[in-house]
Amino acid sequence: MDLKKLLLEENVGGFDLMFRALLGVLGITALAMNLVKSSPLKWITALIAAVGLFTSITRHCSPYHLLGINTAKKR
């Protein structure tokens, strides 16, 4: 398995990209406005928001690579 492809190849695009970014922004907003009350739920929300934003910024999802899924447009 090529490590460079596993960590750097773009495989997220289109609707998937926008959904991940929106999920991240909504999660951060919910945490900032203190809409999430319980502590374990805050950590889960923060993790989902961070992963959503990170994968939308880098346009890469490692589980997608392992499953052979690619929603990015081919160049």
Summarised one tens digit per residue, pLDDT across range 39-71 is 999 999 999 999 999 999 999 988 888 898 899
Residue 67, token pair as written in the block: 């499953």
What is the model's pTM? 0.82
Burial of 9 (0-12, 13-18, 19+ CB in 10 A): middle
Euclidean distance between CA atoms 47 and 45, whole angstroms? 5
Indicate the pLDDT class of residue 36, thresholds 50, 70 and 90: very high
